[in-house]
Every structure is written in C-alpha cells, then in structure tokens.
Structure 1
Amino acid sequence: MDLKEVRNIAREKLKGYCRVCPICNGVACAGEVPGMGGHLTGSSFKSNVEDLTKVKIRLKTIHNAKNPDLKFNFFGTQLEIPIISAPITGTAFNMGSALTEEQYISSVVNGSIDAGTIAMIGDSANPAFYEIGLEILKKVNGKGVGILKPKKNNLVIDSVKKAENINAIAAGMDIDGAGLITMALQGAPVSPKPVDELREITSSTNLPFILKGIMTKEEAILAVEAGAKAIVVSNHGGRVLDHTESTAKALPEIVEAVKGKIMILVDGGIRSGIDVFKMIALGADAVLIGRPVIFGAYGGSSEGVSLIIENMKNQLLQTMILTGAKDLSSINKSMISIEW
C-alpha cells in the first residue's frame, strides 16, 4: 500500500462527506458542518491553511546537521516525532458509515503507535464513544490521551478518572467544543469554563491536563493560572466559529506570553512535515494533525494512518536537514520568513 492508494480508497469511502481534495484547504467543503468542512463560509478552516503557506522556509546547507533528532518528550513518554493524532469522534455523523467508531479509533491509535507516536481519543454527545476510545487505549497500556468536551464538571471529572484508571499519559478538554454545532444538535449540554471550574478539574487528577482551543495570549495565561500543563492552540479546525484568526497567526503571541511555563501544542491546517517545521519555528513544542489522519484511517486502517504520519516524518527530517536544525530545540524563527 502507498499514499496514492490510501487517498483513492479514502475518497471512495468518504464519498458524499469528503472529497479528499489534492489540497485539503476547506474550499470545496465550506459550510459543511456536520461533515468535514468549516463553519459557515469556511473562512477559519481556509485561513489555517492559507496562512501556513505564507510562512516560508529559509534554505541553509552549510552546516553539520546531517542526522537530525526528531524525538519529543511528551510528559515523560518519548515520541519519535513531534506529531500527535488529534481527537476526532463521531465518524458516522460527520464522515459516513464506512468505518464504525471502534474501527476508526483503533486505526488511529494503533497506526500512530506504529509510526512512533500517540493518538488522542475524544469525547462526544454519545458517552459510548469515549468509552470505546478508553478500551482501545487500555489495550496499548494507556499510551494516549483522553480529551473531553466541556460538559458539567462532575461529568468531566468522572471521565478524567476513567483515563487515570487505564494509565493514560494525560487528559484534557476540547474547551472550544463549547460552541460545537454537532454537540448542540445531539442535545449534549456544553459551555465555556471560568478559571475556578477549570482549576477544580485540574486539581482533581494527577494526570497532566491539557486545554485544547486556546487562541489568545490572555487565555493562554489563564490556562497556566488554572493549572493546565499544556495547551493546544486551536480553532477546532475552523468548525465552531467563522472568521477566526488562523492558528499560525495566533501562535507567536501566545508563545511570547507563556513559553516555558506550559507545553504549547498547535493544530489547524497542518498537512505536511514542512508545516510541522513551520509551526515549531513559530514557537510550538509539537503539533496535532486531524484530517490527514482521517484520510489514512479510511484509506488503509492502521497501516494508512502509519503511512500518513511516516510521510510527514520524512518531510520534517528533510526540512531539518535543509535548514540546519540538528534537533527540535534548534528550530527557530531565523529559519523562516513570514509574509503576512
């Protein structure tokens, strides 16, 4: 199996839900929520991709970075690459019925591990989906992360305890899920969270807690105050609010405010290992990828997911060789230029 075959199979299985475009930029699927597109005009989804194209790589070849080290330490677990599969649930609701929820999550969790990294499993309006994810993580000795929607605190805390029970690496909250249309359609009550409610959650567990959906320096500072150990700079793939700033544009200000105080992850529009490099150069510690993993799972199950991630790994390695980055900590803003 190769990447072309994976994409062709994914295109067939996702027919009517996703076109698996040559460039996954949110143009063809704008407004398709439920589905794979961005909210309303799709501006947020499109901006994520467009703004990353405006970050340019500065080629450098007079150096000794011949064998770059891509390893990333994620709360004591060493990953071979700074790429983590994002939490995605509700395959039948958003992507058709070619894969069951269990088949999709199993493909992502196992394919990610095969590629030297981990996956996050998600929550949804249907609590059974989170339970399915936990069972799959349990089979790999908890090597993954459970991410919850911002439901009532007692429900979130209970779900975090379940992640603890399977020895998950970390837990977290998709805090921008407070405005997710698909949750509202299915009658699941979600809401924003003030700092005191977040602190109640973070103090209830020994697991590192991640807040996903941070888009301003002010909220990054509040995440630190609330006791989170990591944030994900994310606008939920452009699926919850139209005309938001891209994650690439939001990232530098957040980095300036909280770098060194909290782990900084980012997602949104990342389609290649070159994009991974760009986000790290902008200050992220590592990235999450979503839609590419979906294509891998639908196109080739765990093998497809592994192929997608391995391809991105190879692109990142090549980019580091051609910029003089000997390891992840060597990647910095001097290796890019920005055209916005």
Structure 2
Amino acid sequence: MAAVIETDVAIIGAGPVGLFAVFECGMLRMKSVVVDALDAVGGQCSALYPEKPIFDIPAHPQIEAQALIAALEKQAAPFTPIYLLGRRVERLERADGMLTLGTSAGDTIRCKAVIIAAGAGAFGPNRPPLDGLAGYEASGAVRYMVTRREDFRGKRVVIAGGGDSAVDWALSLKQVAARVTVVHRRPKFRAAPETAAQLDAAAARGEVEMAIPYQLHALKGDGSTLEAVVVATLKGEEKAIPADVLLPFYGLSMELGPIAQWGLALDRNHIAVEPATCATNVEGVFAIGDIATYPGKLKLILQGFSEAAMAAHAIHPRVFPGEALHFEYSTTKGVPGGD
C-alpha cells in the first residue's frame, strides 16, 4: 500500500551500510526511512551470499554475511526506522527546502536529506559467454551466488574468477564439497592477500585444485545436468574438469536506474562525493558505500560504515539548523532503550 511519509533522512539501500546509516542518524536524533528494491533488508549480503564468511569487520574475526545483517538490523532497531521494501526510488524533486522522493509503489517521502547507500545499484551477475548457459542456469548447475553451503555437499564444484568471492568461497566450500577447482587466467589473485595466501596453502595441501592459466571455454552435459567444465589457455590448449556445479564469480554489472537521471556527478557508474562529508553535487543528497567514489576510496564495508557516520554529521545542520552539535561518544550517551 502506497504511503506518504515525512522524515528527516531517506536512505536508499538496506544493505549493511544503509542499515548502519540508520544507527548513525538515530544517534543524532534524526529519523530515517529506508527504501530498497529487494523484499528483505541486507542487500547483496542477503541476496547473493548470506552464508559467506566476512573477515574484516572489527571485533569479528569471522562473521557470516546474514549474521552481520541481523546484528546491524538489531542495532538500528531502537531508532524505529520505516522500511519500504520491494520497491525502488524513481524520482527526486526539491521544493521549499525539502526533498521529495517517489517510489515505484507510489509512495511519497518528504525529507531534509537523502543518503544513497545503494551498493552496486541495480545489480546483476556478469555472465560468461558460454553456449547453452541458460539451460544450466535454469537447473542450478550454473549459479552466481551461494545461499546455502549444504547445497554443495558432496558435489564437484568449479569456481571461476580471481576476486574475493572466488577465493572466499573456494576456502569455504572445500569443507563440504567433494572437489573444488578454481579456474583463473593468471596466478595472481585480486583477493585480500591473507585469503589468497590461504588458498595457495590449501592448494599445496591438495584441498583445492587450481586450473591456471585457464579460462572458461564450454559446458559439457545434456543441456541441464552438468558433466564437466571445459577450460582453455590463450594458446587454445583445452581440458575438461569433471563438475556438478559451476560458480562464475566475475563480479556484478552495475545499473543506477532512475538515480542516473538526477543530475549527479558520475564516474564510471559510481557517484562522486566530497570525501569529508560524502555530499554529492546535488544539494541535500549524499552517497556512501560501494556506490560512492572519491580519491583513495576503498570498497570495504568498514569504510562504508565510516562514511555513514560522516554523512550523518554533515546532514545534522540541515535537520536542526542553527543548533550546535555537541558530539558525545556512544559510551557516554548510550542508545535509546539501552541499559
């Protein structure tokens, strides 16, 4: 049902950075409405890899993506955000010092500032150019995400790619799969050095097989059930790797959707912002997380968390004009509803 809502801040994106922005705004007494195209909070963490272990969240040597989302949602809960899920923001208008957003469900949100925390925007996997791919996708023999590790127990899994997702899932799935083979075009991986080193060690122990330097070439099977993944070198040398499942991790294709029509300064499908405030070139609109870019930007969740805090502090004068912000640490002021 369409809603008409007045709030302090509208947050576009209910991923980890968007959820933490609710907390940071709440700590400064600003109310939030959160809009997301997915039907549940969590963004990519929930939609693409809920069981993926994340290793670079402070105080958590390892935490699964869905567990992180659950904790962030609980952290935001005292500030009673309004979640508008299963819809996307389609228009932005400005009048009388207020911003008005319209959603695909007909909602109208009037606010004093907008935080875009849309991650990769409207995202979808980069698919490998393989004949007959659609049939194997339909049967689940080719997948672009892991939602349950148990689905791969006893399976022969081929993972293609050289980034964090490929390396992290190779290390995770080797514990349940019958066989894990990693296909990459060169020996050097783009993943975090520590996890890349763990993969090398696992390969040396025979826990993971490495197909280097190879690229995906063809799928072998009946069009639905996969028998093998054929890989090839740049010289045309081919080999078939027995497989039940192929996981191509070639990243996500980004599409900003209607946001691209808002007059924002864009840099390769990312939104350019001021590093100190995360303000865009459009008055009252801020961007944080993976969708934001500036010199020295690191695409890490923890950097997105920092950006959420910076944006909230920059927004405070818009919500409370003329009011001095006497910043206090959370250890001093506590959280509403806390002990």
Normalization by structure 2: what TM-score? 0.26
Q: Which of the two has greater helix per residue?
A: 1
Normalization by structure 1: what TM-score? 0.26
Greater length-normalized contact order (CA 8 Å, ≥ 6 residues apart): 1
Q: Which of the two has greater strand per residue?
A: 2
Which of these two proteins has the greater Rg computed from alpha carbons? 2
